[in-house]
Amino acid sequence: MKKSSAMIPYLVWMAIFIIVPMLLVVYYAFTVTTPEGSTWSLDNFARFFEPIYLRVLWRSLALALVSTVICLLLGYPVAMIMAGNAFTRKNVLMLLFVVPMWMNFLLRTYAWLTILERNGFLNILLTRLGLPQINILYTSTAVVLGMVYNFLPFMVLPIYSVLSKIDKGVIEAAGDLGANAVQVFTRVIFPLSLPGVVSGITMVFMPALTTFVISRLLGGGQFTLIGNLIEQQFLVVGDWGFGSAISMVMIIFILLSMAIMSFFEGEDKEATLW
């Protein structure tokens, strides 16, 4: 058909806007600018291991982990039910599941402000019901809630797509061979759904780890996660070296999770991703 020269604009574009920026991040991460000029150094990475920043990393990892676990516990049953025979119009159902994601995530997060604030929807409802009010806005609970809300579909969709492809014959065979319902799940269904689970975990964990908007809006101004730290370094402090170093740590996390993902998915990556 056409020669591969059609690719040239894209190759140039990629080089300028994807490769070069990545290299610049690496460059800034490994250099320190002093009044005498800039030198190669690992100082930026060393700084990251100061207690104050380690605490930020730890908190980000913990919140992302908690959110991921909650998403998995909430989402796996949803995926299983949808893949089962409780509903007939599955396509419509999955569409309904995706629709909330079409709303700008910023506005979706903002919506929780309306619900959680002191005189918000939730407290009005609780007062009407004669229950005590709860104030979780600007706490880590609110941040986790925001993450679960925003990322739950990313857990459900990959698991659903794997579960719905499982050969029903395999499950029947397990039953015929004497496995009870629990055994069928732990020995057959769950292991077979593992690729979906892994990709779901990655797709929830990574954005949860790097978010700065959810923590800013629902955690309040003082709440710092690793994403907020990066944002501050670039927009407030102006310390690009340190900001780049943190970003590189992020990239390493992504590469790791991608490696894990492709390990579980084998050669089929392209097909399952799209």
Note whether 270 and 72 are within 8 A (CB): no
Ranges of H-type helices in the chain: 8-14, 20-29, 43-48, 51-83, 90-98, 105-116, 121-128, 140-163, 168-176, 181-183, 190-210, 213-219, 226-232, 240-265, 269-273
Please give the single-letter amino acid code of residue 128: R
**Would you give the binding string for another protein spanning residues 11-30, x where CB under 8 A is met?**
x-xx-xxxxxxx-xx--x--
**Residue 129 interacts with another protein (CB under 8 A): yes or no:** no
Least separation in angstroms between CB 5 and another protein: 7
Q: Token pair of 224, please?
A: 């710092």
Residues 82-121 close enough to bind another protein by CB under 8 A: 82, 84-87, 90-91, 93-108, 110-115, 117, 119-121
8 binds another protein (CB under 8 A): yes
Residues numbered 221 to 250 that lie near another protein (CB under 8 A) are 227, 230-231, 234-235, 240, 243-244, 247, 250
| Residue 39, beta-bridge partner list | 32
Check residue 270 for interaction with another protein (CB under 8 A). yes
First to last CA, the chain: 25
For residues 55 and 269, which CB has a smaller minimum distance to another protein in the complex?
Answer: 269
Determine, following the binding rule CB under 8 A, whether residue 131 of this chain makes contact with another protein. no
CA separation for the pair 126, 205 (Å, rounded): 32
**Rounded Cα distance, 250 and 77, in Å:** 30
Judged by CB under 8 A, the chain residues 37 through 66 that form the site for another protein are none
Nearer to another protein, 129 or 271 (CB): 271
- One character per residue 137-156, x = contact with another protein (rule: CB under 8 A): ------------xxxxxx--
